[in-house]
Amino acid sequence: MALKGLDIFKLTPKTNCKDCGNPTCMAFAMKVAQGAVALDKCPHMSDDVKAQLGDATAPPMKKIEVGSGDDKFTLGGETVLFRHDKTFVSKNLYAVAVCENGIDEKLPEILKVDYDRLGERMYVEFLYVMYRGDAAKFAETVQKAAAEGRGIILEVTDEEAAKAALAVAGDRVILSGANASNYAAFSKLATDAKAVLGVSGASLDELYDTVTALEKLGNKNLILDVAGETVKETFANAVQIRRAALKDNDRTFGYPSLVNLHKVAHGDAHLQTALAALFTLKYGSIIVMDGVSYAQALPLYGLRQNIYTDPQKPMKVEPGIYTLNGADENSVCVTTVDFALTYFVVSGELERSGVPLNLLISDAGGYSVLTAWAAGKLSANSIAKFFKEQEIESKIKSRTLVIPGKVAVLKGEIEEKLPGWTVVVAPNEAVELVKFFKEFVKA
């Protein structure tokens, strides 16, 4: 059971609490219990007390780091089952399975999925390398995969093959091969290589017992393979493990999970994509697929970004000038807010129109059009300020500005703030923009 503020207060040294930024030690203890402040913020607390309290005040799911420094991946650390309860902490990561057969053809296709969306890089973070009986070829395949700068997951239960692969796998590596029969040897291999150890079991009971045994050996740098024989079993495992950790506070199952769709989708690309979306929500920390095309990645990574973004912080695009359809300084200007959903919907329709346009995105606090207008974030003053900061008039010769139809009331005010500009009101709905601009150009 997690410690309460009073429990922590009893172990907190009663000294000058101003050093901790709190008026009293009780206030500090309460914040620690709520997870709002770390134990090490108290400069007077002894190492023994910190060690005593550390596990009790840590998240029910352990935070696991794969690699080190700026290149590390972070998994786990979750405190809630549902995003709306608070927020999710560590986004799930995607892996693609490879083996010695066909890796030279498969790697270039995997590397094509690498793009930027709202300031976040979208790419395949891990390569899942499977052992097929030849230790030398396995190590060679691992070396090829590691050369691409991605994290490596080694699916291998043979100790000698695992040892050879770890020698060439790089720093960001997960050794996924521990089970009830080999956990001691694989724990030593992973510890010596500073790798995360992947653990599997024939059932949840066996997996639980194996994790317990590994913890007794002192290894708590683990990730749990939840894949079963069927989709139903795999989903049940993922949910039960997460609930055991977060609801029942059973820290034996308090580790990130690995969902291997290679085992349950059986090469069905459509099923695999659907399952990847499912386990993005519940509850795959790493999701392994047979492959992922650019078309599959767009909705999948978009879903992940929506789920693993703080719901209290709206997703925004960077304010600036976005040229569409080959627009230049003479092209008409269109403006809207920086709310990501609005941007993607509007820009998509503008691109469909085929008309060269300069899309001007101003800072509206990440709100939608009407919300930004109601909050005073979208106004004649804010647009005029944006024009001045971005030096629009020196960059663009056109003096026609199209504004969202839902804020048509701003037309006169904007023309007063921007002398020489003609303000045109667009339709209320984005779907009407294609027809509007095609007719606008003809006129």
Mean pLDDT of 122-128: 95
What tens digit of pLDDT does each residue of 359-408 get?
999 999 888 999 999 999 999 999 999 999 999 999 999 999 999 999 99
What residues contact residue 131 under an 8 Å CB cut-off, 6+ apart?
Answer: 99, 138, 154, 155, 156, 157, 158, 161, 165
Mean pLDDT of 203-231: 96
Instruction: Give the per-residue pLDDT at 28.
Output: 63
Dist CA 377 CA 363 (whole Å): 8
Task: Return the percentage of the chain with pLDDT > 90, whole number.
Answer: 70
> Which is nearest to 25 in space by CA: 35, 10, 40, 38?
10
Using alpha carbons, list the distances in angstroms from residue 302 to 116, 123, 245, 295. 11, 12, 27, 12
Instruction: Give the per-residue pLDDT at 1.
Output: 42
Dist CA 87 CA 116 (whole Å): 23
What tens digit of pLDDT does each residue of 85-97 get?
888 889 999 999 9
DSSP E strands: which ranges in 131-192? 151-155, 173-178
Q: Are 421 and 332 in contact (CB under 8 A)?
A: no
Dist CA 29 CA 9 (whole Å): 5
DSSP state of 217: T
The CATH code of domain 320-442 reads 3.40.50.11600
Q: Are 368 and 337 in contact (CB under 8 A)?
A: yes
Instruction: Give the per-residue pLDDT at 119.
Output: 77
Instruction: Give the per-residue pLDDT at 330.
Output: 94
More confident residue, 220 or 54: 220
Instruction: Give the per-residue pLDDT at 7.
Output: 53
Dist CA 194 CA 197 (whole Å): 9
Residue type, 149: G
Using alpha carbons, list the distances in angstroms from residue 73 to 48, 90, 285. 29, 9, 11
Phi and psi (nearest 5°) for 78? -75, 150
DSSP state of 158: -
Dist CA 193 CA 185 (whole Å): 13
What tens digit of pLDDT does each residue of 244-292 get?
999 998 999 999 999 999 889 988 889 999 999 999 999 999 999 998 8
The secondary structure of 340-370 as a DSSP string is HHHHHHHHHHHHHHT--EEEEE---TT--HH
Tell me if residue 324 falls in helix, strand or coil: strand
CATH architecture of 5-52: Orthogonal Bundle (1.10)
Instruction: Give the per-residue pLDDT at 256.
Output: 97
What tens digit of pLDDT does each residue of 98-124 get?
998 889 999 999 999 999 887 789 999
Dist CA 126 CA 116 (whole Å): 17
What tens digit of pLDDT does each residue of 157-201 get?
999 999 999 999 999 999 999 999 999 999 999 999 999 999 999
Residue 35: band (very low, low, confident or very high) from pLDDT cuts 50, 70, 90:
low
Question: Do the first three CATH levels of 63-307 and 320-442 match, i.e. the same topology?
Answer: no
Dist CA 86 CA 79 (whole Å): 8
Cα 164 to its chain centre, rounded Å, is 32
> Bridge-partner residues for 198, per DSSP?
176, 223
Dist CA 263 CA 228 (whole Å): 8
Domain ranges of the chain: 5-52, 63-307, 320-442
User: For the domain with range 63-307, which CATH number is right: 3.40.50.720, 3.40.920.10, 3.40.50.300, 3.20.20.20?
Assistant: 3.20.20.20
The Cα angle at residue 368 between residues 365 and 369, in degrees rounded to 5: 105
Does position 26 have pLDDT exceeding 70, yes or no?
no
Which residue has tokens 């034996």?
A: 252
Residue 38: band (very low, low, confident or very high) from pLDDT cuts 50, 70, 90:
low
Which residue has tokens 């929506």?
A: 306
Residue type, 191: T
Q: Is the dihedral of CA 154, 160, 165, 168 positive or negative?
A: positive
The mean predicted confidence, pLDDT, of the chain is 88
Helix (H) or strand (E) holding 416: helix 411-417
Residue type, 251: R
Task: Return the percentage of the chain with pLDDT > 70, whole number.
Answer: 86
Instruction: Give the per-residue pLDDT at 52.
Output: 60
Instruction: Give the per-residue pLDDT at 5.
Output: 43
CB atoms < 10 A from the CB of 112, how many? 13
Beta strand 257-260 with 320-324: parallel, antiparallel or unpaired? unpaired
Dist CA 255 CA 242 (whole Å): 8
Helix (H) or strand (E) holding 54: helix 47-57
Does position 232 have pLDDT exceeding 90, yes or no?
yes
Six-digit token string for 45: 């607390």
Phi and psi (nearest 5°) for 31? -65, -40
> Which is nearest to 258 in space by CA: 181, 201, 341?
201
